Chain A
Amino acid sequence: MAETKATLAKADGAATRVFAPIVLLALLALAPTLSNAVDNPFLIRLFTRAVIFAMAAVALNVVLGYGGLVSLMHAGLAGIGAYAVAILAFHDYDGSKFVGIFPGTGNLAISIPLAMILAGLGAAITGVVSLRTSGAYFIMITLAFNQMLYYFFVALQKYGGDDGLQILGSLDFFGLDVSKRATFYYFALAALTVETAFFALLVESRFGIILRACAQNERRVVALGVPPLRYKVAAFAISGAAAGLAGAMWATGQQFVSPSDLSWVRSGDYIVMAVLGGMGLVWGPVLGAIVYVLLEAFLPAWTQFWQAPFGVVVILIVVFLRGGLLDLVGAKGARGNGGGRG
């Protein structure tokens, strides 16, 4: 009897952890076909936005849902990635050199990894300071660092300052032209798939188990002889690099990046997406991002003041649906380890 129960739970776990995300990503792959069928290019733009937000929210959720770290700087980290791509494209277009040394490039095979490295480095440096603290301090410090990045890019007059930076040249990935909408969509979706699969493996690895243990009881982790700070900084850096990837995709897709993409409100939106989808699963935020983008697109059709009802939805979810939307379908383990008191 107990055995059947265990097998059932295991099957259920496999269904929510493996099959459900595959189905979801496969459904997402149909978006361009659907968009063509109903002859509405708006749909593909909508889903591109959802896929990119999903990349950032999945990145955030690794530290939020599994590490219990409420980071409010993921919009800033994504912004580093976005500006890396845009600035390289800027120098590629006008033939000048970055700080007079490095030439620009429009090849995403170079600029995306660079964007990820820079965002990961930014996360590691800010992480060393912020992760020494915990709980409320961590939240407020990451919020402050987000604004630091925001003001930094506002102050970069050479790269558009407040107005943002337009990507004028063409971008390609090893010769693959990503300026076509459907091509770019599949490109972004492939990146999201790789990212989700990578994190799904990561959270089940030894590294992921230590990260989760840190969220549950850091003292015991120390007692076991594992230094938690090192693991948390590493997780934050990896998460930051993935956020940088999302930012790089954002800049590529929009052909534009502006400081408003780095606003702390966007960081809050990512948290909402992660919680909305369910923090206990790696792919939960993908669902959250889709729902968020749909709400954002269709609420304004009913009322000009759509943010108030959206805010009420957020409040109601926090009050009632503590495991996110996945709670509604009764998925196991939808509630993450995260959000513990510090």
Chain B
Amino acid sequence: MSPSLFVEQSLNGVQLGVMLFLMAAGLTLVFGIMNLINLAHGSLYMAGAFFAATVFQLTDSFTLAVLVAVPASALVGAFVEWAVLRRFYQRSHLDQVLVTFGLILVFNDVVRMIWGVVPVPLSPPDALSGPVHLFGGVEYPAFRLAILAVGALVALGLYIVVSHTRVGMWIRAGASDRPMASALGVDVELVFSLVFSAGAALAGLAGLMAGPITAVQVGMGEPILILALVVTVIGGIGSIRGAFVAALIIGIGDTFGRVLLPPALGSMVIFMLMAAILAWRPKGLFPVHG
């Protein structure tokens, strides 16, 4: 592998990693605090991409698309939490799997009804459409670099919010001991809604950034959902730090696995990685609940 290819693939890996982190952050917080398995998280990713594509088609402005799609995804998330999922925090995991599975079917069909089955075009903003020249003559698409930067910024922001603010303290308190946090006067319901909407916003952001790279189409959230679940499990369910480390491991592992190994093995690398890590640490790298 030449040095320039190595740099390019490393960047690809880190970029996939930050995308996965945006997805996994929501999943892991929702699970850690509310004890809810949300298989429909990928639908919020899809929603973000479709909202952005629609606004982009109407206004031709990527900035506006971002400004509309992220809050819109958060709203969809808030609505689903309020209308359906709120009733399932105390139910068994099986019920949660079933209800979010049902939600995926509904989401996919609603998207099919509104936008049809043909992929909706979404191109990167003009300013970011070309390549960037990096050191050593490496060329890299500016848009992918921008994703990397946005993802890193969001990760930093999340770290600051979760570790250094009062809301973050509530979130951590809720994740480590829900009844005690509630007894100490934290409005747990409000925190739940807030966390779920924030997770939805991050999923929507990931979706709209993935839009120009992959395709904006029905079911686009499901492959990334699986990877995000792998990240969540490896990192330790409920741990933001774990999600970040695991997202980078999976992002880089998957990218290099596909480049270096034959296809049948390359596509399985991350799952073997998961199996190996869990055989060593069944609760993930950074377990939250003892």
Please determine whether B98 and A272 come into contact, CB atoms closer than 8 angstroms. yes
Please determine whether B113 and A70 come into contact, CB atoms closer than 8 angstroms. no
| A130 / chain B contacts, CB cutoff of 8 Å | 278
Say whether B180 faces chain A, with CB atoms less than 8 Å apart. Answer: no
Please determine whether A314 and B98 come into contact, CB atoms closer than 8 angstroms. yes
Say whether B264 faces chain A, with CB atoms less than 8 Å apart. Answer: yes
| A140 / chain B contacts, CB cutoff of 8 Å | 37, 229-230, 232-233
Please determine whether B93 and A136 come into contact, CB atoms closer than 8 angstroms. yes
Say whether A109 faces chain B, with CB atoms less than 8 Å apart. Answer: no
Say whether A75 faces chain B, with CB atoms less than 8 Å apart. Answer: no
Please determine whether A315 and B283 come into contact, CB atoms closer than 8 angstroms. no
Please determine whether B106 and A308 come into contact, CB atoms closer than 8 angstroms. yes
Say whether B84 faces chain A, with CB atoms less than 8 Å apart. Answer: yes
Say whether B97 faces chain A, with CB atoms less than 8 Å apart. Answer: yes
Cα A51 to Cα B154 in complex, Å, equals: 50
Please determine whether B274 and A141 come into contact, CB atoms closer than 8 angstroms. yes
CB distance from B7 to the nearest CB of A (A): 27
Please determine whether B93 and A342 come into contact, CB atoms closer than 8 angstroms. yes
Please determine whether A318 and B95 come into contact, CB atoms closer than 8 angstroms. yes
CB contacts between A and B, total, < 8 Å: 136
Encode A196-209 as 1/0 by CB contact (under 8 A) with B. 00000000000000
Cα A154 to Cα B110 in complex, Å, equals: 29
CB distance from A281 to the nearest CB of B (A): 16
What range describes how many residues of A lie at the interface? 35 or more
| B31 / chain A contacts, CB cutoff of 8 Å | 136
Query: Which residue of A is nearest B87, CB measured?
Result: A319
Please determine whether B105 and A314 come into contact, CB atoms closer than 8 angstroms. yes
Cα A145 to Cα B275 in complex, Å, equals: 9
Say whether A137 faces chain B, with CB atoms less than 8 Å apart. Answer: yes
Say whether A129 faces chain B, with CB atoms less than 8 Å apart. Answer: yes
Cα A141 to Cα B84 in complex, Å, equals: 25
Taking CB atoms and an 8 Å cut-off, the chain B residues in 66-123 that contact chain A are 84, 87, 91-95, 97-99, 101-106, 108-110, 112-113
Cα A341 to Cα B91 in complex, Å, equals: 8
CB distance from A42 to the nearest CB of B (A): 24
Query: Which residue of A is nearest B277, CB measured?
Result: A129
* A133-B98 CB under 8 A given contacts A140-B229, A144-B233, A319-B87: no
Most buried by B among A130, A272, A319: A319
Cα A313 to Cα B98 in complex, Å, equals: 11
Say whether B260 faces chain A, with CB atoms less than 8 Å apart. Answer: no
Say whether B237 faces chain A, with CB atoms less than 8 Å apart. Answer: yes
Encode B261-290 as 1/0 by CB contact (under 8 A) with A. 011101110011011001100111000000
Would you call the interface of chain B mostly helix, strand, loop, or mixed? helix
Please determine whether A137 and B106 come into contact, CB atoms closer than 8 angstroms. no
Query: Which residue of A is nearest B223, CB measured?
Result: A147
Please determine whether B102 and A136 come into contact, CB atoms closer than 8 angstroms. no
* A308-B93 CB under 8 A given contacts A132-B279, A140-B37: no
Please determine whether B109 and A155 come into contact, CB atoms closer than 8 angstroms. no
* A305-B112 CB under 8 A given contacts A145-B271, A151-B268, A342-B93: yes
| A157 / chain B contacts, CB cutoff of 8 Å | 263
Please determine whether A133 and B278 come into contact, CB atoms closer than 8 angstroms. yes
CB distance from A170 to the nearest CB of B (A): 29
Encode A122-147 as 1/0 by CB contact (under 8 A) with B. 00001001101101110111011101
Please determine whether A315 and B103 come into contact, CB atoms closer than 8 angstroms. yes
Please determine whether B104 and A311 come into contact, CB atoms closer than 8 angstroms. yes
CB distance from B275 to the nearest CB of A (A): 5
Cα A70 to Cα B87 in complex, Å, equals: 20
Please determine whether B230 and A144 come into contact, CB atoms closer than 8 angstroms. yes
Cα A126 to Cα B103 in complex, Å, equals: 28
| A154 / chain B contacts, CB cutoff of 8 Å | 267
* A143-B268 CB under 8 A given contacts A305-B109, A315-B102: no
Please determine whether A155 and B279 come into contact, CB atoms closer than 8 angstroms. no
Please determine whether A308 and B97 come into contact, CB atoms closer than 8 angstroms. no
Please determine whether A70 and B106 come into contact, CB atoms closer than 8 angstroms. no
Query: Which residue of A is nearest B27, CB measured?
Result: A140
Query: Which residue of B is nearest A310, CB measured?
Result: B105
| B110 / chain A contacts, CB cutoff of 8 Å | 308
A-B contact pairs, 14 of them (CB 8 A): A129-B278, A135-B93, A139-B97, A145-B271, A147-B226, A148-B272, A155-B262, A268-B39, A305-B113, A307-B105, A311-B104, A315-B103, A338-B92, A341-B92
Having A141-B278, A339-B93, one finds 11 other A-B pairs with CB under 8 Å, namely: A130-B278, A136-B35, A137-B233, A139-B37, A140-B232, A141-B233, A144-B226, A151-B267, A264-B222, A318-B98, A338-B92
Q: Which residues of A contact B (CB under 8 A)?
A: 64, 70, 72, 126, 129-130, 132-133, 135-137, 139-141, 143-145, 147-148, 151-152, 154-157, 264-265, 268, 271-272, 275, 305-308, 310-315, 317-319, 338-342
- 3 smallest A-B Cβ distances: which pairs? A339-B94, A311-B105, A314-B102
